[in-house]
Amino acid sequence: MTLSKFRLCAMVALSFAAGSLLTSQWTRIQRVRADSNRVFELRVYHTLPGRLPALQARFRDNTLRIFKHHDMTSIGYWTPQDSPASENTLIYILAHDSRDAAKKHWAEFQADQEWKDVSKASEADGKIVEKVDSTFMVPSDYSPMK
């Protein structure tokens, strides 16, 4: 390949890469603008002593699937590393299109017969959750997650 053909191929490849990058960034900006009402919900579940495994099983086996059915977007699930919180705490974040959407989705979720059945069956050995903390959040203007 001659040097001029190599330069031409390199320029075409560079132009393609730059165009792809610009398109990707433009798409991301449009998505962020479209999601300007989106909120994140931080939820912290505190279980009764010894009941964290039952809560984790309920989420793993059923709750996440039911969340999806009600358009509740799971971002992530965590447990603390250090005691005593590691023994009774589940932390997770959901994304909602808006605060109103979150309210609607939670109402539908709690009215869902499958959820009621799952909740009742998971508590056959006793109540699981002692307390739930919920905090709605919006990304800061410098946050990489929007």
Q: Tell me, what's the pLDDT at 16?
A: 56
Q: Tell me, what's the pLDDT at 22?
A: 47
Structure confidence by residue, pLDDT tens digits, 108-119:
999 999 999 999
Task: Report the distance separating Cα 98 and Cα 75, nearest Å.
Answer: 15
Tell me: pLDDT of 85 over 80.
Answer: yes
Query: Hey, where are the domains in the chain?
Result: 1-34, 39-137
Q: Tell me, what's the pLDDT at 34?
A: 40
Quote the Cα angle for 75-127-39, to 5°: 25
Alpha helices, DSSP H only, in 35-112?
A: 52-58, 64-69, 99-111
The reported pTM is 0.74
Structure confidence by residue, pLDDT tens digits, 19-50:
555 455 544 444 443 456 899 999 999 999 99
Is residue 110 within 8 Å of 128, Cβ to Cβ?
no
Q: Tell me, what's the pLDDT at 13?
A: 52
**Which CATH fold would you assign to the domain 39-137?**
Alpha-Beta Plaits (3.30.70)
Report residue 144's pLDDT band, with 50, 70 and 90 as the boundaries. confident
Q: What is the mean pLDDT of the chain?
A: 85
Please give the structure tokens belonging to residue 51: 């009941």
Tell me: pLDDT of 67 over 50.
Answer: yes
